[in-house]
Amino acid sequence: MIKKEKKNKRNKINIRAMSSICILLVIYFGISAYFTNHFYFGSKIDCVSVSGKTVEEVNKQMASHIKSYKLSLKERDGKTEQITENDIKLKYNLNGEVKKLKDKQGSYNWILGFLNTKNSKMTVGISYDSKLLKEKVDKLSCFDSKNVIEPKNPSFKYSNKGYTIINEVNGNKVNENVLYNNIVKAILKGETTIDLEAMNCYVNPKYTVKSKETTEIRNTLNKYVSSKITYTFGDKKETVDGSTINKWLAVDDNFQIVFEKDKIKKYMNELSNTYNTIGKTRSFSTSSGKTINVGGGDYGWYINNAKETQDLIAAIKEGKTIKKEPTYIQTAVSHSSNDIGNTYVEVDMSRQHLWFYKKGSLVVQGDVVTGNVSSGHPTPEGIYWVKYKERNATLKGEGYSSPVDFWMPFNGGIGIHDARWRNQFGGSIYMTDGSHGCVNSPYYLAKTIFYSIDKGTPVVCYY
């Protein structure tokens, strides 16, 4: 009896198991039948879900999807632009690819489809008019010059406390090549959004306020404007400090400090115009007691602008505080209003007379003969200086060769010398029988001057 009950129990269990298997088989084959014409769950073509759809439905879905396709470009400041399928004649190149994907899935592997997505995803070819796309990209608002804000590195502002750093400007300039390539990739993948910021499509400033280079530049600028160069001109002085130096400094596009040499040159020219005295008109007290104005000539102070500009920049780069005289090409006796001093030769060409003073005392004087007025060789007015002195020189020119014992040139080929060929000096001889421009002197006069005068001594010539 007990054995019979156990057998009945086993039979019931077997019947239930067989029933469950049959039910599962019915369900499996039923679902398989469904997937004969429908895609597995989780199936995607490009980024579009086609789960549970037939090939015909998918073809219609993809066609509808392409017609509604829009690629949104998310730009800075909340701006958005779009590229639509119509803008670029976008279309899918299905060519039976949808059916091929369904055929790969089959009907009976739907369970494995949940585990292996190899046959559940596909990317189909997309085509577009590249010329239209390029034209559309070129016309985007973000490339309109009126809307573009250029990126800028940090800048530097000067005050009497030194330089401070001004934040960089990110701007909104887009790298067209980078954006274009990202647009093409997004279209081919069926993506609908591009975040220009996230995709690094913007041209950003190379340096920021946090860059090491920014701090270094500020520190260097502050070093430069800490300089103080004081130029002395006798009892007068001119000072170059930060209030001036900062106007000469700039930071270029390569983030390098540059000196604006045109501005420094302008400053040097102004300095030279004030303190150079060559050729300037001076007030001169003559031996006859008159005070006259004499201009012209090559005697006086003359700053070497090129050399001094180099020295000034070098001093600024070292942050120096110094007091100095400028570098001169030529100097005079003093920086006073009378830079001639009290050692000079005076030639009054109207009176045809010469005086030579040394340290305020008259050394010698006498009549002379200057340049021939009637032949167009008058001795030029002006204040000059003795370039050198030479014994036993021979003066040569067009149509003449004259040996002299004492030669003291002061204006090119014009100088003071003895003239043994003359037996008279002074008067009006110079009007018709004057020299070629030189100051012809009696032997004693030329000799006395020669042995007492030095190179650089001023020679004042006037009528």
Instruction: List the alpha helices (DSSP H) in 226-355.
Output: 242-245, 261-275, 305-317
| Alpha-carbon span 123 to 128, nearest angstrom | 16
Is 438 assigned a catalytic role? yes
Residue with tokens 């009950």: 5
Taking alpha carbons only, the member of 270, 267, 269, 292 closest to residue 281 is 292
Phi, psi dihedrals of residue 238, rounded to the nearest 5°: -130, 130
Q: Which two tokens stand for residue 89?
A: 């004649």
Joined together, the tokens standing for residue 340 give 């001639």
Residue tagged active-site, from 38, 377, 436, 438? 438
Cβ–Cβ < 8 Å for 99, 122? no
Segment holding 441, helix H or strand E = strand 439-441
- d(Cα 437, Cα 452) in Å, to the nearest integer? 23
| Beta bridge partners of residue 259, listed in sequence order | 249
CA distance 86 to 105: 33
Please state, in angstroms and rounded to a whole number, the distance separating the CA atoms of residues 152 and 446: 73
Burial class (CB in 10 A: 0-12, 13-18, 19+), 228: middle
Q: What six digits make up the tokens of 17?
A: 């198991």
436 catalytic residue (yes or no): no
What sections of 35-152 are H helices per DSSP? Answer: 55-67, 85-88, 97-105, 110-115, 130-138
| Catalytic residue (one of 142, 417, 436, 461) | 417
Catalytic residues, by residue number, are: 417, 438
